Structure 1
């Protein structure tokens, strides 16, 4: 009411009148209110204005007279409103009933010239030709529309509570979704629910076909429409969405788009779905009524209407909707053929769930009549990791492909090649993947466009499976090349889902090069998946898990756990064994780094169970086995650790991770000399499968052994070597997992050139976050020399001692420190160190 005029525009049953009556009843004490409801079918301007005048005066309507002057009547009403000299509100309800163009023009004049203390409220089911744009621009117009009148889910619960109706939360949610918050629909449901013997069943079945709702909608909406509009609404009611072209086809008439636009403008339960207002849908309950009425009045037309819609959607590339309408028409064989032809393509577009839903809609006998549908079953089985069932269905497809017409053979065989590759990868038949990729047919010159497209799909799928298999085989450089090539090809052929799948694995493939690069790949993949709405789908879980591992390795335990949880949720319903193994392994590392070794062991056992399902040798096998042995020993179960070690085959026993695990056993047995001997093949890099994280761990275990042998100098040298290796990627987790972080507290103040990393390690193991990802950037970048000085500030070295370490003058150090404070916005050494840590400037591998 801070505005001069308020317009309430919403469909029937939205609560417009209830809102106005309730508001007026509360405000009658502080202002005069005139309430007018326009009579149904008000065609006469004079009758309308006489009603307005009577409402303003608070009397009966004046008598009609010949020679009506509309402008004079407007002036008369304005004069009487101004004469009150106190706040006055004129409410006109049901204004959509006024069909007089003359009266609407006169009303515009009234609303734009209201006296200072007068406000007007008009309520209507559809927007009327009131030219109020100047009032809107001047800030004098308030508008309340359907979206603001809809009930929320919480308000739906309150409405039920007021009526004394108690329903489970999920049932209330269903009722809210079915009514879309429409007030009249909720009110009708409440009336029906009162005393209903089976309220949950009532809600499950409640729709526009419910008798009370249907009667209301028929009376208020459908019966008011002209015949051509009724025909359009009925014949398009079988669609989830409709546009003008499709509506023209179904009605056999032109001009449907204009009708749909007018219906939306009239708040007739029609909603546009896009900014250009080309696609529309009907309110769920209104759609239910229309479908019921169509089946009642023209049941014989329904199958053909579905066929027309199916042809239109198929011709416009919307295969899922085409299949749904064929199924609704009962054309099961044609629907099966269409789904078989497009199931692989839909899956590559990220619509595996849609394929599964469409498949389950077919009656069981169709599989016997159309064996090609076995291909779709295989795709659905692979998506759910039902590998044996998928293999059986693929055998059916092979037999079918051998007898099918030649124009379909090529397509089926290409699809078989794609699925065989995926099956081999999921089963861990890594050698088979390499063999199948080598045997793939090359694209031949002169092939049709469709065959070339199939060939590109197959090539991109092959590169994805090859890249993942190479990664799980620790052929990381080859994996990176395959995945980058696969992502580029998928992007070129318009397969964003396949592109994201390649990018999601790229982070793991580049961990051997640089954690910074791997992190960048993971974050890029996650951002791209989010743009397509796939940020919670299994396709992006490899990037989420890898990012979690990188964060945990850098001591960012809380953030790492957040990404681990996302990866776990994304793979709850499915995820290949290699990925699930990785998630368990990273979780185990996190638990061990926090000192929760018993929980870590449970995760390692789960990882080993996943590994056992893989036929080939997974790259992470030695880590799972080695850390399982080490964790058993750290828990005091030395005999169990020895038994696990004894069961390791001879080839695996030489791996660096297993050597490290044997050293942990020796340390637990208080035999540091034997531990030192076990570590020598790792330290001299003669042990196979020896990534640098394993080498860091070996140096730390050797430091513990030297300490126990009483050789403090050798222990410090081993720790320093571990810090040197850990510095570029800021690896913190080996120090936390091995317990060697305790050795850092004994280092002399200037006994290490990695003071910043030492501080971060100690922060991490004591539960403090070593970084602040949201820290603002410095005012100006630090120079290389300033960075060198900054990295000495976390130590206890004095300024003269820092000058000696850097071989510069004390004056130079003082100058650099002043500049560092200014650029970082710091006031002292402590705050400069904290800012440097927040900005990740203290590790020498960072810039």
Structure 2
């Protein structure tokens, strides 16, 4: 029995079996070393024997290049199996006599040759060609070979008498790899580990088998798989002894010289090796199945199998260490001449030509930045010593830009504040200052830089204008911020940049919200989102995190939790990769809150843990602080006051960003001061006068959303301090401010203490809402939502299927106010189809025949009081 790979999957599906190939004359398995050729040929042998066919298996060796020796080998085996006569022919006539015997053989049989690649002599190949010609229709010749044999196969192929199996056919799929490792070798591997091993081996059987030998005794499979390469001892030994050593000297030299190339063509190989016949060499390697693959349909570009390339590079470094730099420099020169700068740079770094790489990179920085190659820039720039970067200021800026995209904000700012760049007024430095929450410095820097930027300075102007507008807003200089956002020059820049247009619209909307104009901010964001989706349909807008985060904030504030949750989940993967701190904080905190409200505490903790991780990577104390503030808020609402105090102390350790007079978007109502006051109320240690002073400061600065939050806390503090009249007075003012514009979650997020105060207010001022300037049913709606969160509402619907859901009540109220379907959809952040669906359910539950009747029945039932 021939040797096979232990535990190999049954690949017999690749074979011509049964009656599907009645005229098969030649089975040719031509594939690279270790692909499973022998095993597949053994499968075919077994199937032939099962069908009652006689089979001769021959392991060939170089001696069989003599036709007489090959004929003698065949005679011995065929006569022993009774396929031909055992009578010995006259000396010298054996080959011809054997062919005549086989041609007249009446029984079905198969002759299987393993390691056929050793047959290279023309006379031996001519004998095999004759054998193929005389084989009867019920006989088959099977060949397993590393190379494509020099036989005339065209006629057999045209007649359908040839079945070919290649290296590609023998590759395992990911699913087969998983089965092979888990079932055949009983390895308990995670699917991610299997996927990585599959990617490294590309489904090559011997590579997988050799990996299993080590995995069975390795304590850390993931670490082994991560390190598995062509230099791994067992694999390196196999490739050295069974592949490289079998090549002639010119072929060995060629593969070692070209292994430095990730991808190659004949012209590149000529330039690197100094040859003029690389095309012929590549063709020969392809015919020999030497782990080489064409990467295009035209067969102009090629690559080596990843593990084989690893092995060759390891061998090159050991045998010819002086060649490495020489070969990479030659490749870099060829790529530079061909205007392929990225590939040229890769080879310069591989050649350790750092100064030359730095000089060439300087000329490519603008192109790389414009095309968003941040990770590529990071990989190159991190390999350039700081001393070399200092000689090229442009590289310092590029390095800072790459660090921004890697969210290493503090490191990026350190680069921009290095002695080489410190004196430069640069838009990247302005951006980094604001990202690192150094708002005043960022504003001052942007104010100095913006007037000096030329009209054709597109990216620098856009970034600097955005920084200045943001910092004016954060500093409370709202009129100046709006003036800049509406300036002619910025409007002109917006026409060329959808990103800048989204950002400026978002900033204006956030200004509205901060100043208490939630309805205005909502309308602005809906219009911006509609335009952005319309002009960039099918592609995620560049400004997606900024615009969409602001929209999610409004959805959450207006209690459109389902819509906010859906959109936040869409946003999250993009935000993880691209968003700045404000978007990251808002995205994660809102998702955590909605998840918590839905009863998923583990999900709430998971989002906050991810925010923690992002904060540590970026070095942003505000991100870290925000995650602790949310923990403190929930612990306070749950009356776990010791836990809340611990979380508050952790938040306060990261509160260096919280400066007097500065309001930053994601934390306008989530600050260490506000969270501490909430906890003080729960602990009974609050000072209402302190809250009154903070509220008045916020009003003076026109920070009306923050003032609303502080007023609610003040009302709760007064209630806790046994000043019920004053508490209701503050709550009345808060309701009058919030109800016309739709602030809802600002109230609901304060939980049971505020709900109790609202209950008392409702009893005290029942029926007086309109007289007090409060929208009718606003308080009733707040109380209903206090007692029925999303999870409770779902349960209530299950127990009372005819009761209107909170969302249906909202639709019904807007319907009663005379709004059309489209207007209702816009106000509730729904599609018109969803609104129509709600209306159908309302009609069904109320037994109404239409919109007017539904409103009438709802009034009778007191649903619209």
Q: Does residue 283 of structure 2 align to residue 236 of structure 1?
A: no
Q: Unaligned regions of 5+ residues in structure 2, if any?
A: 1-16, 510-521, 606-628, 634-647, 749-753, 816-824, 826-830, 858-865
Aligned position for 2:329 = 307
Give the whole-Å Cα distance in 1 for the aligned partners of 2:191 and 2:785. Answer: 45
Deviation by residue 1:22-61 (Cα, 9 ceiling, x = unmatched): 6645874454352434634566778778867876663699
Question: Which residue of the other structure, out of 107, 120, 124, is the alignment partner of 1:83?
Answer: 107
Give the whole-Å Cα distance in 2 for the aligned partners of 1:515 and 1:623. Answer: 23
Question: Which residue of the other structure, out of 517, 524, 540, is the alignment partner of 1:513?
Answer: 524
How far does residue 251 in structure 1 lie from its aligned partner after superposition?
1.7
Is the CA contact 1:174–1:203 (under 8 Å) kept in the aligned structure 2? Answer: yes
Give the whole-Å Cα distance in 2 for the aligned partners of 1:127 and 1:509. Answer: 70
Aligned position for 2:764 = 709
Is the CA contact 2:393–2:420 (under 8 Å) kept in the aligned structure 1? Answer: no
Question: Which residue of the other structure, out of 433, 439, 450, is the alignment partner of 1:438?
Answer: 450
Aligned position for 1:674 = 729
Deviation by residue 1:362-394 (Cα, 9 ceiling, x = unmatched): 456646777775445534544455555444433
Is the CA contact 2:32–2:289 (under 8 Å) kept in the aligned structure 1? Answer: yes
Question: Which residue of the other structure, out of 580, 587, 591, is the alignment partner of 1:587?
Answer: 591
How far does residue 684 in structure 1 lie from its aligned partner after superposition?
8.7
Question: Which residue of the other structure, out of 785, 791, 811, is the alignment partner of 1:757?
Answer: 811
Aligned position for 1:13 = 34
Give the whole-Å Cα distance in 2 for the aligned partners of 1:486 and 1:508. Answer: 16
Question: Which residue of the other structure, out of 326, 349, 369, is the alignment partner of 2:371?
Answer: 349
Mapping 1:423-462, distance limit 5 Å? 423-428=432-437, 429=439, 431-432=443-444, 435=447, 438-442=450-454, 455-459=457-461, 461-462=463-464
Aligned position for 1:799 = 849
> TM-score w.r.t. structure 2 length?
0.64
Give the whole-Å Cα distance in 2 for the aligned partners of 1:114 and 1:181. Answer: 36
Mapping 1:211-250, distance limit 5 Å? 213-214=235-236, 216-225=238-247, 228-250=250-272
Give the whole-Å Cα distance in 2 for the aligned partners of 1:584 and 1:603. Answer: 15
Is the CA contact 1:378–1:390 (under 8 Å) kept in the aligned structure 2? Answer: yes
Mapping 1:42-81, distance limit 5 Å? 58=81, 77=102, 80=105
How far does residue 678 in structure 1 lie from its aligned partner after superposition?
1.5
Question: Which residue of the other structure, out of 336, 344, 366, is the alignment partner of 2:358?
Answer: 336
How far does residue 796 in structure 1 lie from its aligned partner after superposition?
0.9
Aligned position for 2:12 = none
- CA pair 60-614 structure 1, distance change in 2 beyond 3 A: farther
How far does residue 77 in structure 1 lie from its aligned partner after superposition?
4.4
- CA pair 787-185 structure 1, distance change in 2 beyond 3 A: closer
Is the CA contact 1:238–1:306 (under 8 Å) kept in the aligned structure 2? Answer: yes
- CA pair 130-422 structure 1, distance change in 2 beyond 3 A: farther
Q: Does residue 446 of structure 2 align to residue 422 of structure 1?
A: no
Partner of 1:799, secondary structure, is coil
Give the whole-Å Cα distance in 2 for the aligned partners of 1:753 and 1:162. Answer: 55
Q: Does residue 657 of structure 2 align to residue 613 of structure 1?
A: yes
Partner of 1:346, secondary structure, is helix
Is the CA contact 2:329–2:347 (under 8 Å) kept in the aligned structure 1? Answer: yes
- CA pair 679-366 structure 1, distance change in 2 beyond 3 A: closer
- CA pair 752-393 structure 1, distance change in 2 beyond 3 A: closer
Kindly tell me the number of residue pairs found equivalent between the two proteins.
Answer: 730
Give the whole-Å Cα distance in 1 for the aligned partners of 2:810 and 2:103. Answer: 79
Mapping 1:409-808, distance limit 5 Å? 417-428=426-437, 429=439, 431-432=443-444, 435=447, 438-442=450-454, 455-459=457-461, 461-462=463-464, 478=485, 489=496, 512-515=523-526, 518=529, 521=532, 528=539, 542=546, 564=568, 576-587=580-591, 589-590=593-594, 593-594=597-598, 601-602=630-631, 613=657, 616-624=662-670, 632=678, 640=686, 642=688, 645-646=691-692, 648=694, 650-653=696-699, 655-658=703-706, 660-661=708-709, 662-663=711-712, 666=715, 669=719, 673-675=728-730, 677-679=732-734, 682=737, 692-694=741-743, 707-709=762-764, 711-712=766-767, 714=769, 736=785, 755=809, 757=811, 790=840, 793-799=843-849, 802=852
Give the whole-Å Cα distance in 2 for the aligned partners of 1:733 and 1:257. Answer: 77
> TM-score w.r.t. structure 1 length?
0.65
How far does residue 14 in structure 1 lie from its aligned partner after superposition?
1.6
Deviation by residue 1:705-761 (Cα, 9 ceiling, x = unmatched): 76332525849996767699xxxxxxx999747969999999x99999964736999
Question: Which residue of the other structure, out of 307, 324, 337, is the alignment partner of 1:285?
Answer: 307
Is the CA contact 1:629–1:642 (under 8 Å) kept in the aligned structure 2? Answer: no
- CA pair 321-641 structure 1, distance change in 2 beyond 3 A: farther
Give the whole-Å Cα distance in 1 for the aligned partners of 2:147 and 2:488. Answer: 60
Q: Unaligned regions of 5+ residues in structure 1, if any?
A: 403-412, 445-454, 491-498, 686-691, 725-731, 762-770, 772-776, 808-847
Partner of 1:11, secondary structure, is coil
The answer to which of 368-377 and 657-666 deviates more is 368-377
Partner of 2:665, secondary structure, is coil
Is the CA contact 1:593–1:737 (under 8 Å) kept in the aligned structure 2? Answer: no
